[in-house]
Chain A
Amino acid sequence: MRDLRSLLRGRRDGPAAGLHRSHRDAVRLWGTPWARFGLVLLVAGWALVPQFVTDDFWLSVLNYAGIAAVAALGLNLLTGYTGQISLGHAVFLGVGAYAAAQIGEGGDIPIVVWLPAAALIGGLVGAIIGPFALRLRGNYLVIVTLGLVFIAEHVFRNLKDITGGNTGTPVSASPSIGSFDVTDLSFAGQSYSREQGWFWLIWAIVALTALMTKNIVRTRPGRAIQAIRDRDLAAEVVGIEIGRHKIWVFAISSAFAAAAGALYGSYQEYVSPDEWNLFLSIQYIAIIIVGGVGTVFGTILGALFIGALPSVIEEYSDSIPGVAAKAGDSGISVYSLNQAIFGVLIVAFLLLEPRGLAAIWLRVKTYFRTWPFRY
């Protein structure tokens, strides 16, 4: 607050903002008053979105994108920061969704219980599977996690007591704590819609997971996984236990995915095994590639972009030539079109902008930060 005031007053004397007077200053995440000011502006601006976008469809698009961001942050820890490519991410969303369905059944259990519990279960499953998967590197890991998707689909279809089998299961876990229910908010005489309530909930969770990711990345475990990514032999020689770290990241990544799955289930109120397929995993790969491998902000951008894309295509399928809007129409289906678009996007970004949207953002930022110099 104090520096905001001095910022606005435009003081040009006294100690400069970038002057670290203790190591506490040096380790702050938003080190300068401008950075803090920008953050406040961004958060406040985003929180105001449902005030202006009240249309349920568009809010739902943003809500799905937010859920995707939570899971993608997990995948980016694993793939972007640790360098381990996994196609099994969808499985853990499924685990989370079913966990929420079980724990939150009846809708009386508060979200602060079922959501962390679902994450924890996802994390545990990840920790159990991790040691098998992570003994392998590179392409082998991709193939093993691919196998995981098929095994899990089989399990989801047959574990009828929990998953409801092929027909799926309703999820009655509700986003509420006691009588406080985000789907039925009213404040200062104004009441808000279900979609508006979910927006704030989901995006608060996005902010929280983003902050946690950022914190992991800038502390000991985060440095260690980046060291493993950059040069695993050297990492081992400085005393980093590679196996342990990989398993931990896999578990955390799975926990994030499970939390996203739980939110997804509760938001849709129904899930079926068809949703946790390879295509969903690929969608998450697309998010981090398009957004930016190894960046937190990029992941969120990628989730907004990729997460919103299918809904937008579906909404406007009528007006896109050659697309079948309804079953029975001629042309390719919306589903196939989505797949094709993700494929094209992944290839295009890998070729043209391997560091994703975040790199573009970073370049813009650098352009102004170094202006009028080049570097």
Chain B
Amino acid sequence: MTDQSPGGAPEPTATGVDDHEPLLALRDVTLRFGGVTALDGVSLEIAPGELHAVIGPNGAGKTSIFNCINGVYRPQVGSITFDGHELIGQRPARIARLGVARTFQNLGLFVALSVVDNLMLGRHHLMRTGFVSGALWWGRARREEIEHREAVERIVELLELEAHRHRPAGLLPYGLQKRLELGRALAMEPKLLLLDEPVAGMNLEETEDMARYLMQVRRELDLAMLLVEHEMHLVMDLADRVTALDFGRRLASGTPAEVQADEQVIQAYLGGAA
């Protein structure tokens, strides 16, 4: 991201991240399922290194945004550009290789595989071993296994998974599964990390742990994050900017304080609760 965009300079972000070209830009994205409009002309920008949160009541279209970004859904209108590439119409695997990682709200772990294998799968697109070289083992496969095991160990250290390396992912307690999924996404060495409710269903202690890990990740790794979360404290503590959605429309966008003070947002939340 060295070249400055000449016209229409993006607004400066709250973190003071240089106003380079955004890493990810959604413009007027509209997604419909039959007669239902899940996203209605949503626009969103994320600068490199920014942590951007998307909030909104249930069914506001938060998860739909993720599914559009990483190619699971295909929006009918609009554009999604990431790091100079148009994402709409690309396969999820290709988008992953471009540098977009994601965690799932309801966990997307490979439950029969061990913690280390799950993390190694995060590195799949960084490895080259195929069926033939894998079957032969000696040479590339072995070298690559060792090399990437080392990389995976950094994640193990970062997220303090040392005591669990060889346990099947499905047998871990819930909080650890969420942490492992974050680890798998980080193992992909992404430029953008999509976090779908990373603390949903967690108790207070697990939530605090996750917040600590997220902050640590931000400090140690150079990546942008898009966070969908219900837990407002977490959003307000971590996010540089917040976008509020309701019924697939963008209500407000700005710093956490601005969004929190926004009349429409308050309305949507109170109205949604009533």
Report A's interface with B, CB cutoff 8 A: 23-24, 26-27, 212-213, 215-216, 218-224, 226-227, 230-231, 233-242, 248-249, 252
Contact = CB atoms under 8 A, between A and B. Distances in A.
B102 interface: yes
Contacts of A241: 91, 93
A223, A226, A240: residue with the most chain B Cβ atoms closer than 10 Å? A223
Interface stretch (B38-46, B143-151, B154-162, B235-243): B143-151
A213 B124 CA distance: 19
Interface in B60-119: 70, 72, 91-93, 96-97, 101-102, 104, 108-113, 117
Specify which of B72, B92, B146 lies most central, judged by the most chain A CB atoms within 10 Å of its CB: B92
B110 A230 contact: yes
A24 B142 CA distance: 8
Given A238-B96, A240-B124, A223 B113 contact: yes
Contacts of B144: 219-220
What's the dominant secondary structure at chain B's contact region? helix
Q: How large is the interface on B (under 10, 10 to 19, 20 to 34, 35 or more residues)?
A: 35 or more
B136 interface: yes
Q: Which 3 A-B residue pairs are closest in the complex by CB-CB distance? A: A234-B108, A239-B96, A239-B125
B30 to A, nearest CB: 23
Interface string B123-140: 011011111001111000
Given A23-B149, A237-B96, A238-B124, A216 B110 contact: no
Given A215-B137, A220-B124, A248 B110 contact: no
A248 B130 contact: yes
State the majority secondary structure of interface residues on A.
Answer: helix
A24 B122 CA distance: 21
A224 to B, nearest CB: 6
Nearest to A224: B124
A237 B92 contact: yes
Most chain A C-beta atoms within 10 Å of own C-beta, residue among B70, B111, B112, B135: B135
Contacts of B149: 23, 26-27
Given A27-B149, A220-B144, A239-B93, 13 more contacts: A23-B150, A24-B142, A26-B149, A215-B137, A215-B141, A220-B120, A224-B124, A227-B113, A227-B121, A238-B121, A238-B184, A240-B93, A241-B91
30 contacts: A27-B142, A215-B136, A216-B135, A219-B129, A220-B130, A220-B134, A221-B129, A221-B130, A222-B134, A223-B121, A224-B124, A227-B110, A230-B111, A231-B108, A231-B109, A233-B92, A233-B108, A234-B110, A236-B93, A237-B70, A237-B72, A237-B101, A237-B108, A238-B184, A238-B188, A239-B188, A240-B93, A240-B121, A242-B93, A248-B131
Contacts of B141: 215, 219-220
Nearest to A234: B108
